Amino acid sequence: EEVSEEELLAAVKRAHELAIRAGNRSTQSRTELLLGRLVGGKEGIEHAERSLELARATGDRRGARESMRFLAELLFVHEPARIDETFDLLDESIEDSRQTGNLESLALGLVGRARLLATSGGRQDWIDAYHAAIEAVEKIRDLQPDGTVGARLFSRWPAASDATLTALAWLDPILLG
């Protein structure tokens, strides 16, 4: 049986309330992020900001990186005047991913940065960002011993595979022709 969006939102709100009552700030951070994803828009920004604040306060680096990436996406779409903050969040997420050696988080941050630069940056910055994103995804694939697993893993990165085609098109105008 499928859960409706309304039921899901109600369940996450209930979990959020319970986390607050229990004083479980880590779970509160996760439910703030879920609420942000469910409601989106400006309200989603508020939830993502609270999620990030709580993740930082509890030392949850993975949660903080996820909150930063999501908040950056929302800011880019709904508050374009905060563009510098948007890229600062992505850069912080990317740097923390490098420091912790989390390749998946690194790839997600680089793909997100490349996607935003595709519509807001200079051509060379955009191309360089996509190259970095593709390299990060390829590093993950290289860790997989089986080609089938690697192919399955790459399929989880549609933005990266789309990026490959788009970047190639920009790099070689003959492909468009």
Which tens digits make up the pLDDT trace of 124-174?
887 888 888 888 888 877 777 765 555 555 555 555 555 554 554 445 444
- What lies within 8 Å, CB to CB, of 93 at 6+ separation is 64, 65, 68, 69, 72, 105, 109, 112
- What lies within 8 Å, CB to CB, of 80 at 6+ separation is none
Joined tokens for residue 61:
């680096």
| Positive/negative CA dihedral, 24, 26, 27, 32 | positive
Does position 121 have pLDDT exceeding 80, yes or no? no
Cα 15 to Cα 131: distance, rounded to the nearest angstrom: 40
